[in-house]
A = this chain, B = another copy of it.
Amino acid sequence: MSTPRTPPPLAGGAQGADALEPLLDIALGALRTGATARGGPLPAGGPQAVAAHLHAAAHPVLPDHGTGPETALRTLIHALTQGAADPAEPLCAAHLHCPPLAVATAADLAASALNPSMDSWDQAPAATALEALVTHALAAEVHDNGDALITTGGTEANQLALLLAREAPTTRGPVRLLAGANAHHSLTRAAWLLGLPEPVTVPAPAGTLDPAALDDALTELGGPPGTFLVAATAGTTDAGLIDPLDDIADLCAAHGARLHVDAAYGGGLLFSDTRKAQLHGIERADTVALDLHKLGWQPAAAGLIAVRDPHDLDALNHRADYLNADDDTDAGLPDLLGRSLRTTRRPDVLKIAVTLKALGRTGLGHLVDQVCDQAQQFADLIDAHPAFELYDTPTISTVLFRPTDATDHHIAHVRRRLLTEGTAVLGRADLDGRRWLKATLLNPHTRPADLTALLKLVHEAEEAEETEPEKAETAHTKGTTPR
């Protein structure tokens, strides 16, 4: 044996909580000091300044001899927090990047501490049972008698949708994807990954997939039934729009095409009594991508794919004797490998389950309603402001707007100016042949005053940009990952 030395404490076992307690105090302390040091939605200075600051705190990240847990935790969490774009700050509103609920985050700690792995029952006995309960409950929000798998997000759910289409018994030959020009980039990337034919892009001139264009495309391609997978979107990344799901489902039925709905964003509307009607037709999809790290307020990752016919999942059946030997399965040990393409798998189900149970459908639906209402309120502010143009009434919680008469370049510069100032995080979208600023409202704590302040900041940045345009030298630093 090597020289005896006490190893650092573990998070699990009978003493795990006692070992965690003082370390969590340090982590919470560093979250506090880091947020104070940041003092806004993101750090000022832009990528080079942030990287330099992080480097000063973290280097060397793999020393020969360690600093001990306290210093490492305090230093790195403080630096990460000081340099975060924190979605809990109301002016951090660019992306489908939600601020997680404290209850979900606290639950996620237990997932890390116990470290169940969802690839065999004997690594995750109760977590296996909990995942079965939760996926069943969430599947029932979409389909009668369906099933659902947990994924790392909408991207993996979209990949699985293509894979299940490729492998479906009803599929004839290589399945071809038809997706709107408004669809998420992960769909075409998944087709490439899976070795499928080049996808067909269906026009979406008004930001939603045009059923007439889809009908034309399916007619023109003219394959036999079971050749095509149509992907519709419920909540586009750019504008939060919802494709006409019922019309698209009718066309899929008429042409014998499979239907996938990417509802990674819009799926959250299912929890709202007043808004779930916006998703009418979703239940006709063969597969649906959902994502509770968007309108579900979970820390990443919390994705799902819902399938109408549970037998579709048979395509994922997979044996590895060390994990699911036939005689173990026959003896009653649940067989988990067919529930994911991953092997080791974190129990993301725990934080989801705790959140669902804590808030209930009504509580979650209320949060959805709040951010959708905020978006309407922000749209009203923009519409009333002489210096800004509104793209359209928001469908979910995304608001597109632009300074009146600004060029596309100017708008990109305004966005980057806000980032470099550290004052606001906004997104961008090119639609209708023009560039727009994008606010994705996902923070239920955002107040009307925050929305007013956000618009004021954009206005000021816009005027500053006119006076003193973005410096040319930033364009010299090619944007590869910093080292």
Whether A76 lies near B107 (C-beta < 8 A) is: yes
Can you give 25 A-B contacts (C-beta < 8 A)?
A2-B373, A8-B101, A10-B99, A11-B106, A13-B89, A14-B35, A43-B125, A50-B125, A54-B130, A61-B133, A79-B126, A79-B130, A84-B126, A131-B481, A189-B341, A195-B195, A195-B196, A300-B344, A322-B429, A325-B428, A329-B479, A330-B478, A332-B475, A332-B478, A335-B479
- Within 8 Å by CB of A125, from B10, B47, B62, B186, lies B47
- CB pair A123–B95 under 8 Å, yes or no, is yes
Interface centre among A50, A330, A331, A443, by most B CB within 10 Å?
Answer: A331
- Which residues from chain B contact A46 at a C-beta distance below 8 Å? 332
Stretch at the interface among A21-29, A217-225, A388-396: A21-29
Q: Are A64 and B331 in contact (CB under 8 A)?
A: no
> Per-residue 0/1 for A312-329: is the Cβ within 8 Å of any B Cβ (1 yes, 0 no)?
000000111111010111
Complex Cα distance, B355 from A88, in Å, reads 27
Instruction: Please report the C-alpha to C-alpha distance between residue A194 and residue B351 in the assembled complex, in whole angstroms.
Output: 32
Minimum Cβ distance to chain B for residue A275 (Å): 11
- List chain B residues, Cβ under 8 A from A332: 46-48, 474-475, 477-479
A127: Cβ under 8 A from any B Cβ: yes
- CB pair B474–A299 under 8 Å, yes or no, is no
- A251 contacts the other chain (CB 8 A): no
Q: Is there a chain B Cβ closer than 8 Å to A385's Cβ?
A: no
With A47-B334, A112-B100, A115-B87 in contact, do A129 and B95 touch (Cβ < 8 Å)?
A: no
Evaluate contact between B122 and A95: CB separation under 8 angstroms: yes
Give the Cβ gap from A241 to chain B, nearest Cβ, in Å: 14
- Which residues on B sit within 8 Å (CB–CB) of A130? 54, 58, 61, 76, 79-80
Say yes or no: A69 contacts B102, CB within 8 Å: yes
Given known contacts A26-B106, A109-B27, A86 and B13 CB-to-CB distance under 8 angstroms: yes
- A213 at interface by CB-CB < 8 Å: no
State whether B11 touches A483 (Cβ < 8 A): no
Min Cβ gap A83→B in Å is 2
Q: Which residue of B lies closest to A111 (CB)?
A: B299
CB pair A88–B13 under 8 Å, yes or no, is yes
**Count of identical protomers in the assembly:** 2
Report A284-302 CB contacts with B as 1/0, cut-off 8 Å: 0000000101000101110
CB atoms of B5 and A366 under 8 A apart: yes
One of A147-155, A203-211, A242-250, A460-468 at the interface = A147-155
Contact A134 B61 (CB under 8 A): yes
Contact with B along A35-65 (1 / 0, CB 8 A): 1100000110011101101110011111111
Q: Does A156 contact B (CB under 8 A)?
A: yes
A361 interface residue, CB < 8 Å from B?
A: yes
Task: For chain A, residues 404 to 451, give those with C-beta under 8 angstroms from any C-beta of chain B.
Answer: 409, 412, 416, 419, 425, 427-430, 438, 443-445
- Residues of chain B lying within 8 A (CB to CB) of residue A121: 47
- Contact status B7-A444, CB under 8 Å: yes
Write the A77-103 contact mask toward B (1 if CB under 8 angstroms, else 0).
101111111111100001111111111
B47 touches A132 (CB 8 A): no
Count A-side interface residues using an 8 Å CB cutoff. Answer: 200
Is A137 part of the contact surface with B, judged by Cβ < 8 Å? yes
Q: What 10 A-B pairs have minimum CB-CB distances, sorted nearest first?
A: A83-B126, A195-B195, A12-B88, A13-B88, A66-B360, A11-B105, A72-B358, A23-B106, A7-B444, A112-B299
One of B9, B66, B350, B377 near A102 (C-beta < 8 A): B9
CB neighbours (8 Å) of A350 from chain B are 76-77, 80
Q: In the complex, what residue of chain B is closest to A347 when comparing beta carbons?
A: B80
The complex places the Cα of A77 from the Cα of B361 at a distance, in Å, of 20
- A470 within 8 Å of B (CB atoms): yes
Q: Does A75 contact B (CB under 8 A)?
A: yes
Query: Which residues from B are CB-within-8-Å of A81?
Result: 110, 114, 126
CA distance A285 to B392 in the complex (A): 53
**How far apart sit A71 and B1, CA to CA, in the bound complex (Å)?**
46
Contact between chains at A112 and B105 (CB < 8 Å): yes
Q: Which residues of B contact A58 (CB under 8 A)?
A: 130, 133, 353, 357
Partner of A108, one of B43, B112, B238: B112
Given contacts A72-B354, A88-B16, contact A132 B482 (CB under 8 A): yes
